[in-house]
Chain A
């Protein structure tokens, strides 16, 4: 039976993770994400899981990578400056193909910025924060319910694709309390990483199955000996300078996610069929935007809304198709940054509509009336 709860977004993220099978959390206190760690500290040992408060943000992600290699489903959580600090080891996990979920409850930046105030300033850092090319999977929850549901999905994606998955929440969603329904555990779809079935002596740790480009992953202690490194490796997991091996590894890292794009990309769109104006917003902003859109609809304004749920991969083709098919004239992108996703949205639409950015960077949330005014300016 589903159970009704009145939870904060950060608690829903932690509980969603536990429901997905998370049994190890490593982190460091930082506002506004600390409650994720606090809930994990309380709940994990009840289930035989482990929580560790590490000495710094880098230690937090390092410990969860270690625990993931030892076979656990793992999560770390952070905000703002901590997300910057975690970038190097996110890169390690992309390269060594280690499943983990990293939560970033976004606050104002750059630097220490606005620890208690909301922002969406990390959405491009999510995509390109660590050096080198890599595929990114990042979710932007816009309700407490989604904090729970999308964290379950984030774990499933991390386990399936053997790489980090990012939960790009924000201060408003993280700290907001609202009613949610937690499904019965048995009804939650949980994906576990693929394990090797061959004899240990035949195990080639990074030899991907051709069917999905993903190598099975052994856990330390399972009887399989393998070498994990952040260096570029051959299929044996050993450092290589061979140009063929390098190309094979890096192209596969991108391809393993890209070829399943349609399984990953998620968005919600409403009242766009006859719309002249489309608002594209995500995270907490979409709550104000949707209210504005719905109220203006009552007044007869032809406006719709598009909400990317996965920021990365971005629903570019899907958005472009809606804009083209329904002859949308103008697209408004309100964001709590200087127009980061605006760049991606403008790129996706290929000139089929005028795209305008509306930004707010003072630590406040857009009010529905503000967004309604933006719509009226162009409608």
Chain B
């Protein structure tokens, strides 16, 4: 059972959730709620936005201001919320298809603007809700219902994409490091700018059944065995890093003014 303070953030009346038993998404939701508790956030002033997919059902279970938008569009909705009321804490949760395929344009532009939103990308390398189709993060060679002979598309590295597009805090963990998930989300929410926390999770139901990782524990062990902290990864060769998941704080740039603050300066300058 989650702690009492975490339970207060839950809409327990809508349980059981829709996620499969053993799904990694619950670990991420729990880490997010612990982070919100640790930061003593006010549910009246907190917004959790999402797109469409398994991951995007997360906000529905959280007792705060929640916004379940359209596929890929959550960051654009969240941008409107944040700019309209910069006092709100805005967290955006997306899946890998949501964020990097249909919502890719919104993602890179939210990074570029450096708007004060914490984006959590729940990356399970597959479209789970629709039955296991290949996503932009499906590893080459992996099988999916729309890649029955193995995926041939080179995948996106979500964190590299975010850094390249101008996000000012970028970090990664896997669901095998729940405390790190909590701490990184906490830092992401505290960061005064656009933060991206990629959390590598699994879909044993859809990805696992086609890729010999059918049991949740196999996925957990895979993440545990293949995660490498950034400090260590920095001294490893590209050959040694093949197949590894680099975790920890990957990038931080301070001193960039947050978007709504920049707009606030315009208002101060031109309003009478």
A interface, CB within 8 angstroms of B: 24, 26, 45-48, 50, 52, 54-56, 58-59, 62-72, 74, 88-89, 92, 200, 219-231, 238-239
Question: Once the chains are docked, how many angstroms separate the CA of A223 from the CA of B79?
Answer: 20
Q: How many residues of B contact A (CB 8 A)?
A: 39
Instruction: Give the chain B neighbours of A239 by CB distance below 8 A.
Output: 60
Question: Once the chains are docked, how many angstroms separate the CA of A62 from the CA of B267?
Answer: 23
Question: Once the chains are docked, how many angstroms separate the CA of A62 from the CA of B81?
Answer: 10
Q: Are A221 and B45 also in contact (CB < 8 A) when A52-B83, A71-B84, A227-B60 are?
A: yes
Q: Are A238 and B14 also in contact (CB < 8 A) when A24-B80, A220-B81 are?
A: yes
Are B81 and A92 in contact, CB atoms less than 8 angstroms apart? no
Instruction: Give the chain B neighbours of A92 by CB distance below 8 A.
Output: 69-70
CB contacts under 8 Å to A, within B32-72, are 43-45, 47, 49, 59-60, 63-70
Q: Are A220 and B105 also in contact (CB < 8 A) when A54-B76, A63-B83 are?
A: no
Task: State which of B14, B64, B70 has its C-beta within 8 Å of the C-beta of A89.
Answer: B70
Instruction: Give the chain A neighbours of B85 by CB distance below 8 A.
Output: 70-71, 219-221
CB nearest neighbor in B for A24? B84
Instruction: Give the chain B neighbours of A65 by CB distance below 8 A.
Output: 69, 77, 80
Task: State which of B66, B105, B106 has its C-beta within 8 Å of the C-beta of A228.
Answer: B66
Instruction: Give the chain B neighbours of A45 by CB distance below 8 A.
Output: 263, 266-267, 270-271
14 residue pairs from A and B, CB less than 8 Å apart: A24-B80, A45-B266, A46-B272, A50-B84, A52-B79, A54-B79, A62-B76, A62-B106, A69-B80, A69-B81, A89-B70, A221-B65, A221-B87, A223-B44
Question: Once the chains are docked, how many angstroms separate the CA of A238 from the CA of B267?
Answer: 38
Instruction: Give the chain B neighbours of A220 by CB distance below 8 A.
Output: 47, 65, 67, 81, 85, 88
Q: Are A63 and B80 also in contact (CB < 8 A) when A46-B272, A220-B85, A225-B63 are?
A: yes
Query: Is B186 part of the binding interface, using a Cβ–Cβ cutoff of 8 Å?
Result: no
A/B pair count, beta carbons within 8 Å: 131
B interface, CB within 8 angstroms of A: 14, 43-45, 47, 49, 59-60, 63-70, 73, 76-85, 87-88, 105-106, 108-109, 263, 266-267, 270-272
Are A72 and B84 in contact, CB atoms less than 8 angstroms apart? yes
Instruction: Give the chain A neighbours of B65 by CB distance below 8 A.
Output: 220-221, 224-226
Q: Of B44, B76, B270, which is in contact with the most chain A CB atoms at under 10 Å from its CB?
A: B76
Are B68 and A230 in contact, CB atoms less than 8 angstroms apart? yes
Are B69 and A56 in contact, CB atoms less than 8 angstroms apart? no
Q: Of A63, A67, A92, which is in contact with the most chain B CB atoms at under 10 Å from its CB?
A: A63
Question: Once the chains are docked, how many angstroms separate the CA of A47 from the CA of B271?
Answer: 6
Question: How many whole Å from B97's CB to the nearest CB in chain A?
Answer: 16
Instruction: Give the chain B neighbours of A59 by CB distance below 8 A.
Output: 73, 76, 79, 105-106, 109
Q: Of A47, A52, A66, A239, which is in contact with the most chain B CB atoms at under 10 Å from its CB?
A: A66
Q: What 4 A-B pairs have minimum CB-CB distances, sorted nearest first? A: A66-B80, A62-B76, A63-B80, A67-B84
Task: State which of B43, B77, B270 has its C-beta within 8 Å of the C-beta of A66.
Answer: B77
Are B47 and A231 in contact, CB atoms less than 8 angstroms apart? no
CB nearest neighbor in A for B71? A88
Task: State which of A66, A68, A69 has its C-beta within 8 Å of the C-beta of B79.
Answer: A66
Are A228 and B67 in contact, CB atoms less than 8 angstroms apart? yes
Task: State which of A47, A227, A231 has its C-beta within 8 Å of the C-beta of B59.
Answer: A227
Question: Once the chains are docked, how many angstroms separate the CA of A46 from the CA of B271?
Answer: 4
Are B70 and A221 in contact, CB atoms less than 8 angstroms apart? no
Question: How many whole Å from B93's CB to the nearest CB in chain A?
Answer: 14
Question: How many whole Å from A185's CB to the nearest CB in chain B?
Answer: 15
Question: Once the chains are docked, how many angstroms separate the CA of A67 from the CA of B78?
Answer: 8
Are A228 and B109 in contact, CB atoms less than 8 angstroms apart? no
Instruction: Give the chain A neighbours of B106 by CB distance below 8 A.
Output: 55, 59, 62
Question: How many whole Å from A157's CB to the nearest CB in chain B?
Answer: 21
